[in-house]
A and B are shown apart, each in its own frame.
Chain A
Amino acid sequence: MAAADSPSAALRRHDLCTRGIRLAGKMRADVVDLLDTYVERQGLDASISVTVVEGVPAAAVEHWDEQTGTQRLLENLAAYRAFRALLAQMLEEQQEQLGEADAALGPALAAVLLQVSAFAYHLEELLRLESRGPPSEEGAAPPALSHLGLFERKLWGLGVLRELAQWAVRSARDLRQLTKPSLGSSSAPGPAESP
């Protein structure tokens, strides 16, 4: 704990958070562009509703303002590790479906996958500054989609990307919370104010 609170650790933490916020912003912009490309390539209606998406970490959270810094980092890391596997699966399916004919979607997916991996690593670095360090990867397998038809798989992919876009916004907010001087890594903020 003492190491985590040392001035150099605090500076390093602040620096990582600041860069992480920029990474998250860039990632979100690229995911939004990727969503446009995906919707177009898959022949989907952009306003189509996707309900529960199997195996995808939901960005939605209750009592967000009451989370500790460590909670934020752990939840983010778990999510991006999951997205890393999900995007890799999407990329593989994409290549199987469209193969060389797809000049736009594959590279865009690969680029976002790279950013997701980089962000996960970034979060691991932040957690190393905490006393507990990052958890080991449990290596949960991505969901099996063989029972889904082609259209359902397309919708599933849309759900993955939409949820990732939400996470990118949430991550920037989470990291901003971590840069607040009143919040230590494991101390909770005060109770949420009523409107």
Chain B
Amino acid sequence: SSTDSHIQYERVGADVTMKCGSMDWDTAVTWTANGTDIDESHLNGSYLILKKVDLTQSGQYSCYEGSSWHLKYQTYLRVGTPPKEPVLMCRSNNYPKGFYCSWHLPTPTYIPNSFNISVIHGTREMVCEKDVFPKNRCHIRYLQLFSTVKYKVTLTVTNALGKNSTSVTFDEFAIVKPDPPESVVAKPVPNNPRRLEVSWQNPSSWPDPESFPLKFFLRYRPLILDQWQHVELSDGTSHTITDAYAGKEYIIQVAAKDNDIGTWSDWSVAVHATPWTEEPKHLTTEAQVTETTSASTSSFMPPPTTKICDKGAVVGSGAVAVCWTAGLVLAAYGVLFI
């Protein structure tokens, strides 16, 4: 006896009939699914009938001759769907070296798919080299720059149950979109309660920022507000914010764009920073507290009576009593505040 072992692909919802290899219809057989016996109600003679299959019915199906239990047939049933129209996008984050295209299926097929991509530039067919990782991506080197001829990229996805395809057409300039700036750092500026110094680097994927300079867009806001402030910077990789609210924590992000063409990158990772604030004096160190003791405690003491009772300023014998009374009142007032 021989066993046939292969993979069988069927659509979700389809009715599936499995024959037990070359066995006659009226031969007594037993079918198993993943090692579990299948009820006879699913059999029509030696045929296995599966109605409206679903994903849970994927698995190994085996057919054994009735009494001998010899394995006569085996198949691996994979239930899935034909591919829907794939989603395809192309982008150049490393201009002028080239561009990449990546794709995905809007819904899974549950069975293996193969992808074929073609790139046409005018009459020329170009090779899109598949990336090892991620798998659904390929890249192309530009053979020409500054061309007005559009690129047409067609992706075809095929599986055992069908195929589908999609195309995108674009200009060389239109797909240029750098990666976000890297290493964004924001620091307070000493002795400047309204400033924050922000710096960043060109994305490492941008191959030649000297010849193809980037411009930048910076946005910032205090955490407590929703409104962003924006600044566009045509050169340099740093900026000083000069209108920060004192003492408020800020969130800051930067985006990049080629100086001449394409679109803005996504926003960089957000960084947080709070402008410099002066330390309150009463919360300073013990040494500083000692130094300022006489000054600080004097604020709780009544003003020295000698000043009030400056003899030179007092006229007549009654002034002495006034001074004394004033001194008593002020001393009592001072005690209240200790």
Chain A positions within 8 Å of B, measured between CB atoms, are 25, 28, 49-51, 58-62, 64-65, 159, 162-163, 166-167, 169-170, 172-173, 176-177, 180, 193-195
Contacts and interface: CB of A to CB of B under 8 A. Distances in A.
B147 A60 contact: yes
Contacts of B213: 176
Contacts of A166: 146-148
16 contacts: A25-B260, A58-B147, A59-B148, A60-B144, A60-B146, A60-B147, A60-B148, A61-B146, A64-B96, A166-B147, A170-B146, A176-B210, A176-B212, A176-B213, A193-B207, A194-B141
Interface in B260-275: 260-261
B211 A64 contact: no
A77 B261 CA distance: 23
Contact of B212 (A51, A173, A193): A173
Residue of B96, B97, B145, B173 with most partner-chain A CB within 10 A = B145
Nearest to B145: A64
A195 B148 CA distance: 23
Contact of B211 (A51, A58, A159, A180): A180
Chain B's interface: helix, strand, loop or mixed, by majority? loop
Contact of B144 (A51, A62, A194): A62
B246 interface: no
B260 A64 contact: no
B149 A60 contact: yes
Interface in B7-50: none
Nearest to A60: B147
Nearest to B212: A173
A59 B147 contact: yes
Nearest to A64: B145
B102 to A, nearest CB: 16
A64 B212 CA distance: 13
B248 to A, nearest CB: 38
B249 to A, nearest CB: 38
A169 B210 contact: no
B143 A62 contact: yes
Contacts of A61: 144-146
Interface string B145-170: 11111100000000000000000000
A47 B141 CA distance: 25
Nearest to B258: A169
B211 A195 contact: no
Given A60-B145, A60-B146, A176-B211, 13 more contacts: A49-B150, A51-B149, A58-B147, A59-B146, A60-B149, A62-B144, A65-B96, A159-B148, A163-B148, A169-B146, A169-B261, A172-B260, A177-B211
Contacts of B150: 49
B187 interface: no
Contacts of B143: 62
A64 B146 contact: yes
B105 to A, nearest CB: 27
A176 B96 CA distance: 14
A195 B146 contact: no
B139 interface: yes
B327 interface: no
B109 interface: no
Contacts of B147: 58-60, 166
B334 interface: no
Interface in B198-213: 207, 210-213
B137 to A, nearest CB: 13
B320 to A, nearest CB: 86
B330 to A, nearest CB: 74
B22 to A, nearest CB: 55
Interface in B118-148: 139, 141, 143-148
Q: Which 5 A-B pairs rank lowest in CB-CB distance, beginning with the nearest?
A: A60-B147, A59-B146, A170-B146, A64-B145, A60-B144
Contacts of B149: 51, 60
A82 B146 CA distance: 17
Nearest to A62: B144
B277 interface: no
B141 A169 contact: no
B98 interface: yes
Interface string B294-325: 00000000000000000000000000000000
Contacts of B211: 173, 176-177, 180
Nearest to A50: B148
Contacts of A176: 210-213
